[in-house]
Structure 1
Amino acid sequence: MNDRPTVTLRPITFEDSEDLLAWRNDPLTRSNSRNGNAVTQQEHAAWLSRVLDDPNRQVWIATEGGENVGTTSALRHEDGSIEIFVTVAPEARGRRLGAVLVSAAVDEARVHWPDARLWAEIKPENTASRKAFEACGFEQVEERGALLGYELTR
């Protein structure tokens, strides 16, 4: 029997702004982000407007049983590759959702960009993210300064 959680993804909207900002400014999320600075309401609103208008970025809210449990996103770079991002909501941590969100992000990225190379950058100390991406077929392929480069290999 599969006891792995199931999530549903839906595109973000302006109505998700409060959750997205709270998750982004969570101390653990900030410590695992490239930019660990807190984000102001104005900065967040500007970011959200840009993201919603960007055809090269897809961002989804992950829900489980009607509860918002995180966010996933895919960003298409100039070389055509797709960078995957995942955030588990602080209140949903410990429920084994990381790999579920990575898998859902990969599935959605494949819908939008079927043949693109998929990759992620993860801080070495972010063990939970490293394990989640590895469980979904990503392998560490390089070190990029303070980040580890992972690529989907299967």
Structure 2
Amino acid sequence: MLEFRKAILDDSAVYFEWTNDEVVRNQSFNSEVISWEEHCNWFLDRVNNPSCLMLIFNDVSSNVGQVRIQEESDKNVIIGISVGKEHRGKGYAKLMLELASDYFLSENPEFCIHAYIKSQNLHSKFAFEKAGFDFVEMTTYKDHVSYHYIKIKNKK
């Protein structure tokens, strides 16, 4: 059973662990290791920011991962995900993306969720497709060739 809740300040350490995981850094658009100080400043800003939704997912025994949905422009948000290394390969990414995007769109039906995925990150590509995101185009995003997917509320 996978559940989620909004992130709180006490979640900073687990987010820090996830964000500096080698696989996560390699698939991120900024691949540099993040310092604790930089992370704390970023986390404090995001967790208290009304234009950013940070959700932490857990199963019955442990934290599984996180999804962040950040407003970018009028009615457009960017979604990002990371799954803890001990939970990868269990199908959690698809479920996390479905739960997070459906929750966000139920509260914000006029928004469009955008996902940008590095071209070599096929696991994420397939997770977004299985979670109901629609492929738009191949594009360059933050200097990387990327898949661009979207999800909207009233998809037929």
TM-score by length of 2: 0.90
Tell me, in whole angstroms, the C-alpha distance in 2 between the residues paired with 1:112 and 1:54. 16
- What is the aligned-residue identity percentage? 26
Find 2:60's aligned residue among 55, 61, 65.
65
Q: CA deviation at 1:10?
A: 0.7
RMSD over equivalenced CA pairs, Å: 1.3
Aligned pairs (5 A) from 1:3-152: 6-145=1-140, 146-152=145-151
**3-state SS in 1 of match to 2:101:** helix
Q: CA deviation at 1:134?
A: 0.2
**3-state SS in 1 of match to 2:137:** strand
Q: Which runs of 5+ in 2 are unaligned?
A: none
1:90-148: CA deviation from partner (whole Å, max 9, x where unpaired): 11112111101110111221133122112200011111110110012212212221222
Q: CA deviation at 1:18?
A: 1.2
State whether residues 84 and 105 of structure 1, in contact with CA within 8 Å, keep that contact through their aligned partners in structure 2. Answer: no
How many residues in Structure 1 have an aligned counterpart in Structure 2?
149
Counting strand residues as a fraction of each chain, which structure ranks higher? 2
State whether residues 72 and 85 of structure 1, in contact with CA within 8 Å, keep that contact through their aligned partners in structure 2. Answer: yes
State whether residues 98 and 128 of structure 1, in contact with CA within 8 Å, keep that contact through their aligned partners in structure 2. Answer: no
**3-state SS in 2 of match to 1:62:** strand
State whether residues 78 and 114 of structure 2, in contact with CA within 8 Å, keep that contact through their aligned partners in structure 1. Answer: yes
Tell me, in whole angstroms, the C-alpha distance in 2 between the residues paired with 1:10 and 1:53. 15
Tell me, in whole angstroms, the C-alpha distance in 2 between the residues paired with 1:32 and 1:83. 16
Tell me, in whole angstroms, the C-alpha distance in 2 between the residues paired with 1:27 and 1:129. 15
Moved more, 78-87 or 125-134: 78-87
